[in-house]
Structures are given as structure tokens and as C-alpha cells.
Structure 1
């Protein structure tokens, strides 16, 4: 089942399911099916690796806290917008 073109209809289906695989939203049978495809299809495996890397970078970035000064300025801006909306 080796694929050289990740745009064919079979690969499109697997590429859509990669996101669910990364989020642990597939049952074990579907996980196995996607993993088998990834072992046999280099372009899909490359896309999977890219998606996994992006997800890891975003997760790592989201764990950092904003500096207090920035946080205070953003909260002030949000409150100003809320006041303008309620006055309208």
C-alpha cells in the first residue's frame, strides 16, 4: 500500500485522521489502522511528524505566563472594550 502521493483520496482520509490520532480521539482499531498507513506512506508520515512537532511547540508555548505588566495592560484594554460595548 506504499503511497508516493499524499493527495490521493486514501491519503486524504488518513491525513484528516492524523489530528484525531494526535489528540487521542481514535479508538484502538482506528489508531492501528492509521499507524500502519503511516509506516507504509512516507509523505503521510512526514505530515504526521510536522503536525506532531507543531502541536508540541504550541503546547510548550502555552505553558508560559505573560509578564505582569503585559497582563495588566491587556486586562485594562479588555475592560475598556467591555465598557464601550455596554455603553452602546
Structure 2
């Protein structure tokens, strides 16, 4: 893969996330689709991203238990306090 092709792919790979979330305008959607039709490696990465996104969506259908939520919130607060004392 030459450098121009690699940089072109990098640009499309960045847009795949937005493509999956339906956050691109029509012109970008068309460009991404055309690139995916022509580029096997990018299509494989797109398929992987789509699969991971679907798996996460299925796995996150239930709310977290309240005790877990409280522990996570406590950890976030501790990090925020530590960062604010280190930065100030």
C-alpha cells in the first residue's frame, strides 16, 4: 500500500465512526460507501467496528446495578479531586 493510499484510508477510517452513527452528510456517505466498495482492508475494519458497536448496544440494554453505579461515581469524584489538587 503506497503512502497516498494509506493516508486516504486513514481519512476514511476516521469517518467510519460517523458513518456508523449516521452523522455524515449525503456527499460524505456516498464517498465512504464508494471507498468501502473498493477497499477490502477498510471494509474489513468497517465490519469490525459495526460488529463491536452492535455487541456493545446489545450488552448495554440493562442498567448497571445501583451499587456499581455508586462505586463508579465515587471513583470519578476521587479522580476529579486528585486532578484539581494536582493542577492548582
The two structures share one fold, judged by TM-score above 0.5: yes
Q: Secondary structure, in 3 states, of the residue corresponding to 1:50?
A: helix
Q: 1:75 to 1:50 in 2, by over 3 A?
A: same
TM-score by length of 1: 0.70
Which sections of structure 1, spanning at least 5 residues, go unmatched? none
Q: Which has the higher contact order (CA 8 A, sep 6+)?
A: 1
Report the structure, 1 or 2, having the larger helix content: 2
Which sections of structure 2, spanning at least 5 residues, go unmatched? 82-88
- Give me the CA root mean square deviation: 2.7
Give the number of aligned pairs. Answer: 75
The structure with the larger Rg is 1
TM-score by length of 2: 0.70
